[in-house]
Chain A
């Protein structure tokens, strides 16, 4: 896993990776209309407010879609499953991740999952998911 690409946090995304390093999943939330905004942007896609703050989410969600990749990519040996998880806080609030405790071919749409954190570098913890 040593050649796994790592995130390059910027002022918009640093909160996310600082939170995962504390084993917390935080997502930007519009303080004006309460819409969750992911990926991090400086403006709310729903109401255009610039007043966004990170808030902790439950970490629970369901698999919205998935693919089992059969060729190696940097940091991953085939076959492995990539999933889009839809978080329970909001319809359409999704993140790309992996499911850690399910064989790739057993991943299914609708599978209930919850977040778990895995260290991949000294300062980087990835939010992955396990079956719940």
Chain B
């Protein structure tokens, strides 16, 4: 099978905010319309669609097909389970367009918080499956599971709380230059240490900021993207990985994540390496995840992520500007669809005050712990 070159041709957001009155359906359609409009397309042009509606916080693909009046769909996927949520439909769509299953694929990730749900993974009083070995011990939350990965990393490599704090401070600084970001008031390392502890070593400012909102990305062939309203952003690779014993505490070594295997795939399939990158949009559901991705991608040596970040390398103007929109920590928790959108817009040179000069090659990552997905994107193609 001949694979076609693929590009991102449209990106769009809904309103993003805390506890919006808008329904998740409206948020989704707003984002999808914005992405299509940016490309100069209409719903009639769409013949593929994918999303990750897994956590009951979103709508499924068919809701959008029906609501937008898309006449025929030749490829669709609603993706469930443990997945690098926001990036998964984008990678799946890129592969579908590459093999010719469809020509214009609309992808989205929408998030509407369920404020009725208790903290953690709520299973009620009697807990089934592997969670029966966690929840009865006071361990039902993702923040706790990944806190123990971060703690093991700190123990092994000497990573400090102050270094974790520098992640939050750096990304917040970037968010001050992004009108779409949810949190735009600058913070200092003192603000970081003053924020309440959630589960050590994580403070509130180590955790992504829950919002309601949606992001959408349109994928088509590179050839067709050249005729659209936006500059094409070529998809060089889209990869997933996990490793042996994919489990939150049985994983072989909690100082690295599935990102290690995903990065190997990314560099092998693209023939490129971390030294080629101009920008990185690193998944930051928790601060430490961005640090671990940085190391596992090989942008800095394993164990040196803390000092590397504290030295300012991730800042706009630094050696590898990262999460230039503020990430999930300050931009809002959209499960990395915002990372994809930011990377594409940076590579098109449209980011104004926060634009990274001459950005041509960017990586987008999603997932933490036992799951990983990554996209390699190129501008000026």
* Residues of A bordering B, CB below 8 Å: 3-10, 13, 38-39, 45, 64-71, 73-76, 80, 82, 84, 92, 94-98, 109, 120, 124, 126, 128
Contact = CB atoms under 8 A, between A and B. Distances in A.
Interface string B135-153: 1111111001001110110
A65 B127 contact: no
A66 B130 CA distance: 19
B135 A45 contact: no
Contacts of A65: 148-149, 151-152, 155, 254
Contact of B137 (A8, A70, A92, A96): A96
Contacts of B271: none
Given A67-B200, A68-B199, A68-B200, A98 B138 contact: yes
B352 interface: no
A5 B135 contact: yes
Contact of A67 (B124, B133, B151): B151
Given A65-B155, A68-B199, A74 B144 contact: no
Nearest to A76: B138
Interface in B235-273: 244-245, 247, 249-250, 252, 254
A73 B134 CA distance: 12
* Most chain B Cβ neighbours within 10 Å, of A3, A5, A10, A71: A5
Contact of A109 (B141, B155, B244): B155
Contacts of A74: 118, 120, 135, 140
A74 B136 CA distance: 9
A71 B132 contact: no
A45 to B, nearest CB: 6
Nearest to A4: B136
A120 B136 contact: yes
B196 A7 contact: no
Nearest to A120: B136
B128 interface: yes
A126 to B, nearest CB: 6
Contacts of B244: 45
A5 B136 contact: yes
Nearest to B253: A92
A67 B147 contact: yes
A80 B147 CA distance: 14
A132 to B, nearest CB: 19
Nearest to B152: A65
The A contact surface, by secondary structure, is: strand
14 contacts: A5-B124, A5-B125, A5-B126, A8-B127, A9-B132, A65-B152, A67-B151, A73-B119, A82-B199, A84-B148, A92-B250, A95-B133, A96-B249, A98-B137
A70 B198 contact: yes
Interface in B155-214: 155, 196-202
Contacts of B124: 5
Contacts of A9: 132
A108 to B, nearest CB: 9
Contacts of A92: 245, 250, 252
B123 interface: yes
B127 A45 contact: no
Given A10-B128, A39-B250, A70-B197, 9 more contacts: A5-B126, A9-B132, A10-B129, A65-B149, A66-B151, A67-B148, A74-B140, A84-B148, A96-B249
A130 B123 CA distance: 28
Contact of A69 (B123, B136, B199, B250): B199
A1 to B, nearest CB: 10
A73 B155 contact: no
A39 B247 contact: yes
A7 B155 contact: no
A94 B250 contact: yes
A18 to B, nearest CB: 13
A3 B199 CA distance: 21
Nearest to B134: A96
A1 B244 CA distance: 36
